Amino acid sequence: MTVNNPHDIILEGDDLLEKMSGLDDKLYNRVIRYLAENSKDGKVSITNEQLSGIEDILYDEIKQTDYEKNLKKYLQLFDAIEAAISLEQVALNGLKAAAIRELWNGDPLKQVLKNKVIYDLGKDGLKRYFVDGIAQAVRETSYFNLDIKSAMDVLKTKLIDDQYTKQYLKNAAMGSLAEYDGAIQDKVRVTYGFHTMVYITNTIETSRPVCTHIKDKLGGRISDTDLQKVLDEYCPGGIPNKTDYVPAKRKVKHKDGSVEFKDVMVPKGSGMVQNTFLENWSQQCGGHANGCRHRALWTV
């Protein structure tokens, strides 16, 4: 197994999730064929017996894509990032790679984090949550006796316009590798008594206010005492600050497809995750879905 930089592994995971999200057109076309095959006088007409098999039809369609192959690659990245972090700790803190692996292997949180992703993106979770959401929409087109055009519009909105697959993957797995990385970093911090946090990677236009503050204004290297002061200001008591505002840039996409970044005022706690504390800072950081993919490492 090639060991890469942990940051690159996280980005590779993002790319794989993006590839896995390309199911919407295929599922939409399959559902439309299904409706066309089960219509009468221009309206959707599906028996309860036929509806009971819609989940299997949709899942079989997914199996004909590269989804499972890309999922296998994605799950392998958890082992890859664990190995990369072990070597990173050798360079940063002079720790033994084997000691880091042993430390993390003994933590029940390791399997909890991996099992959640395996379930949500694997067959059981995919059928229970992802496929079921589409199946319910198909059932409703039949229950409400919609004409084919109206049914197509309903399903197009759900699958294509609302980017159904991408939203599911975002909720189920986006940030899971970063959280896994952060959980190891927090375990190292506690075990070895480290008190200095190093914030890795640069800020970008859409970075959260707390990330910009730590990285650009505080230099990206602060003590746990100073980090607590930052959290008291940006996420007091684990609740993102929504009352105090700071300048920021936000991306605006125009109808012609062009993009610009506008100066705006946003809450200090904008984008932060509820229940972000010093103890889990490496897992949560400023909110992992913002694209800057900061990592919080600990040292003496």
pLDDT at residue 154 in the model: 95
Residue pointed to by tokens 């409400």: 144
The model's pTM is 0.90
Structure tokens at 246: 């700071």
Shortest CA distance to 6 belongs to which of 157, 221, 178? Answer: 178
Q: Which residues contact 242 (CB under 8 A, 6 or more apart)?
A: 267, 269
Q: How confident is the model at residue 289 (pLDDT cuts 50, 70, 90)?
A: low
Output the average pLDDT for the chain.
93
CA distance linking residue 20 with residue 5, whole number of Å = 23
Q: Any idea where the domains of the chain sit in the sequence?
A: 6-172, 194-299
Q: How confident is the model at residue 203 (pLDDT cuts 50, 70, 90)?
A: confident
pLDDT at 1 over 60: no
Digit-coded pLDDT (tens) for 131-167: 999 999 999 998 888 999 999 999 999 999 999 999 9
Shortest CA distance to 245 belongs to which of 262, 213, 226, 270? Answer: 270
What's the rounded mean pLDDT across residues 68-75?
96
Judge contact between 232 and 254, C-beta under 8 A: no
